[in-house]
Amino acid sequence: MQHQAPQEIVIIGGGTAGWMAANLLAHQWRSHGTQIMLIESSDIGIIGVGEGSTPYLRQFFHRLGIQESEWMPACNATYKCGIRFPGWSTQPGYEQYVHPFFNQEDLKVGSELFTNARLRRRGTAAQANPQDFFIAAELARQRKAPFYLPRSDDRPAPATDYAYHFDSGLLGAFLKGHASKLGVRHRLDTVARVELSETGDIAHLLMHSGAIVKAELFLDCSGFKGLLINEALGEPFVSFKDNLFNDRAIAIPSSLNEEEDIPSETTSTALRNGWVWQIPLSSRYGNGYVYASDFASPEKAETELRQHLGAAAHNKEARHLKMRVGRVEQHWRNNCLAIGLSQGFIEPLEATALMLIQFSVDLFIDQMEASQFSRSRQAQFNRRINQMFEGVRDYVVGHYQLNTRHDSDYWRANRAHRHISDRLASILEVWDQGGDFEAELTRHGEALMYIRPSWYCLLAGMGRFPADLKPLSTEQRAELMSGEQARAALTDTVTQFYGHRQYLQLLK
């Protein structure tokens, strides 16, 4: 039977999750007569921390027809070529590594990493630090933007992939303005009570103002509180605490050096009881310490962060945040869809928060339309979103399993625990035993969430290789590309790119 698109949608909660969802749904369904209202409480503030994305966010803006020159200056945004991880490994030559975004020009030099890593994990001393083999890593090292300078010939510039850094509070405000242009209504009010129907659907919301709010579809974007999905509908929450220990964060801003170019990468630096993000915005740095309360008190963690930042953090306010790491069992239950922190959260190590929001809304739209706006694909939707959460979790857990630090109980416990999925355990075993790693990755398919180069960057970047290595033969030395040779080739290429600050100025 042909169903009609939801005519009334109510979103509870603003912030990035609420306004991203509002924009996507309004853009897709306003031609169907869908009316959307976003309700948020004036009592709940938005924390404008520096945040990073994956390249998937580019599709969001492209879908909405929003140009970078329109949103990036408004959100103090910068370009992101990847993430650098100092201090996670103590292996000589692998004390830091890079997870870059991948480009067409990596096909030649980057493929050398796979060859070298294969040899090294099978006992031969080939050079295999990913930061030497990918163009995005060299762009970030030289603080370049991921865009070529104008060429004198007619050759098209090869595609380069990238993501963004931005002020999350400013992005939420920008998306709010864009949503209003699409007809999304905004209301300040607070939910006092949620009334359910006999079928278990949300019948209506009773607001503190006395208003009764009805809709065909409700989106829960209320954050960790899970006002609709958890509190009203009682949807169980699956904690990831047994394999991701971090449950707290502290955010402190710091100033940029105006005389230097702006970095084009996120830095995730390991400290004694967690790790510190540093995200370069066009106006400042966003810094934050992600740590586990079982290993450090808030006071100890703040002291550790301030010592790491030095004078840059002097007299800067610290914001202490609690994180609920895990996911709900069902993200779409009855007539309620949980989006953002209400549906789940994996610590921000790989900047996946907005990707999970965007993917969830995109898939919801696809499944609704494919089922003629029925709920027949609800179970299929929930399975796929859970698969995505589990795949991201495996990759993030891999960072901790592979650490080689010995300076604190925190890092030893992260390495020693065996609460990992069978999939991750199998991937590590095949790598360690020198097996067919490509076949192993292919076997797991889309459940991995991360592509082949990402897994190579993680395992090779951490220096996960045998301790005893035989030297390269004369023939191998002649055939293989060393790290120095790879860096030299990439350095020549990177001279053809804009400086980061230079390109950002062109957007204004």
- Number of folded domains that form the chain: 3
Give just the sign of the alpha carbon dihedral 344, 347, 353, 359: negative
User: Does residue 398 lie in a domain region?
Assistant: no
Q: Which member of 80, 225, 322, 470 is catalytic? A: 80
For every one of its 508 residues, what pLDDT tens digit does the chain have, with 9 covering 90 and above?
Answer: 447 999 999 999 999 999 999 999 999 999 999 999 999 997 665 555 679 999 999 999 999 999 999 999 999 999 999 999 999 999 999 999 999 999 887 888 999 999 999 999 999 999 999 999 999 999 999 999 999 988 766 666 666 899 999 999 999 999 999 999 999 999 999 999 999 999 999 999 999 999 999 999 999 999 999 999 999 999 999 999 999 999 999 999 999 988 899 999 999 999 999 999 999 999 999 999 999 999 999 999 999 999 999 999 999 999 999 999 999 999 999 999 999 999 999 999 999 999 999 999 999 999 999 999 999 999 999 999 999 999 999 999 999 999 999 999 999 999 999 999 999 999 999 999 999 999 999 999 989 999 999 999 999 999 999 999 999 999 999 999 999 999 999 998 899 999 999 999 999 8
> Does 260 lie in the same domain as 234?
no
> Does 338 lie in the same domain as 201?
yes
User: Does residue 363 lie in a domain region?
Assistant: yes
pLDDT number for residue 1: 46
For the question of residue 225 being annotated catalytic, the response is no
> Does 358 lie in the same domain as 230?
yes
Q: How many CB atoms lie within 10 A of CB 98?
A: 24
> Does 491 lie in the same domain as 422?
yes
User: Does residue 197 lie in a domain region?
Assistant: yes
**If you ran DSSP here, which 8-state letter would residue 88 be given?**
S
CA angle at 507 for the pair 503 and 508, rounded to the nearest 5°: 120
Per DSSP, what are the bridge partners of residue 86? 96
How far is it, in rounded angstroms, from Cα 211 to Cα 206? 6
How far is it, in rounded angstroms, from Cα 389 to Cα 428? 19
Give 209's contacts (C-beta < 8 A, 6+ positions apart): 189
> Closest by alpha carbon to 227, among 10, 11, 12, 9?
12
How far is it, in rounded angstroms, from Cα 280 to Cα 324? 26
> Does 236 lie in the same domain as 335?
yes
- Tell me how far CA of residue 181 lies from CA of 76, 176, 177, 223, 312, in angstroms: 22, 9, 7, 25, 40
Q: How far is CA 437 from the centre of its chain?
A: 25
80 phi/psi in degrees, rounded to 5:
-130, 120
The single residue listed with the structure tokens 């103090």 is: 76
User: Does residue 312 lie in a domain region?
Assistant: yes
How far is it, in rounded angstroms, from Cα 46 to Cα 65? 26
What are the helix (H) ranges across 402-499? Answer: 409-416, 422-432, 437-444, 452-461, 474-479, 483-494
Give 338's contacts (C-beta < 8 A, 6+ positions apart): 219, 220, 226, 228, 229, 235, 328, 331, 332
How far is it, in rounded angstroms, from Cα 282 to Cα 68? 14
pLDDT number for residue 45: 57
How far is it, in rounded angstroms, from Cα 289 to Cα 320? 10
How far is it, in rounded angstroms, from Cα 166 to Cα 392? 22
User: Does residue 400 lie in a domain region?
Assistant: no
Strand 185-188 relative to strand 35-40, pairing: parallel
User: Does residue 280 lie in a domain region?
Assistant: yes
> Does 363 lie in the same domain as 236?
yes
> Does 171 lie in the same domain as 145?
no
How far is it, in rounded angstroms, from Cα 86 to Cα 98? 9
Per DSSP, what are the bridge partners of residue 327? 238, 344
pLDDT number for residue 160: 82
Contact 35, 183 (CB under 8 A): yes
Q: Can you point out the beta strands (E) in 211-353?
A: 212-213, 217-220, 237-239, 248-254, 266-271, 274-280, 285-291, 319-322, 326-328, 332-333, 336-338, 344-345
Express the helix, strand and coil content of the chain in percent, nearest 5 each: 40, 20, 35
pLDDT number for residue 107: 85
> Does 226 lie in the same domain as 261?
no
Q: How many CB atoms lie within 10 A of CB 160?
A: 22
> Does 264 lie in the same domain as 217?
no
How far is it, in rounded angstroms, from Cα 145 to Cα 499? 6
The single residue listed with the structure tokens 């042909």 is: 2
SS3 97: strand
CATH of the domain at 223: 3.50.50.60
SS3 378: helix
> Does 318 lie in the same domain as 258?
yes
Strand 78-80 relative to strand 82-86, pairing: unpaired
CA angle at 425 for the pair 97 and 456, rounded to the nearest 5°: 30
* Edge-first strand listing for the sheet containing 248-254: 96-100, 82-86, 266-271, 274-280, 285-291, 248-254, 319-322
Contact 171, 17 (CB under 8 A): no
For the record, the structure tokens of 303 come out as: 């002291």
> Does 313 lie in the same domain as 365?
no
How far is it, in rounded angstroms, from Cα 233 to Cα 72? 38
User: Does residue 90 lie in a domain region?
Assistant: no
The single residue listed with the structure tokens 């990073």 is: 52
Query: Which of 290, 322, 354 is a domain's end point?
Result: 322
User: Does residue 395 lie in a domain region?
Assistant: no
How far is it, in rounded angstroms, from Cα 76 to Cα 56? 19
How many Å from the N-terminal Cα to the C-terminal Cα in the chain?
A: 51
Domain boundaries, position 476:
103-160+408-498
How far is it, in rounded angstroms, from Cα 312 to Cα 254? 5
> Does 184 lie in the same domain as 149?
no
147 phi/psi in degrees, rounded to 5:
-135, 135
